[in-house]
Amino acid sequence: YSRADAVTNVQNSMLLLAAFSQGRPELLSAVLEDRIHQPYRSALCPLLPSLQELKGKDGILGAVLSGAGPSVLIFVDPRASLSKVQKLAAAHLSRNRLTAELIPTSITARGARSSFTK
């Protein structure tokens, strides 16, 4: 990887943290551009480039691989209509002869918790 790509990814990760911690979804559309792992893995996950085409439409802020894939996360502006986004994504995938299960979820400030009982 080039130094520029590595620096951009580090900058984006810090800005991603700021977007979440400050509740600023408008920052997400810029910081979801990955230059290191997604370009190589997108060939193995045709959902990713297809869903990335929807960025900027009906409140879609961007799409990224979840971990190493093949799951793809679509980030949506909280003010957008989730049902409209789901219909748009489903229609787009259908036109591109792709299928996916669209599962709406949300980000929680609480995070994951584990417990131990004796």
- pLDDT at position 29 is 87
Alpha-carbon gap, residue 42 to 65, rounded angstroms: 8
Burial (Cβ within 10 Å: 0-12, 13-18, ≥19) of residue 10:
exposed
- The domains of the chain, with CATH numbers, are 3-95 (3.30.70.890)
Q: What is the pLDDT of residues 29-45, one digit of tens each?
A: 889 988 888 888 888 89
pTM of model > 0.75: yes
Assigned token pair, 118 = 């004796």
Q: Which residue has the tokens 């990814």?
A: 9
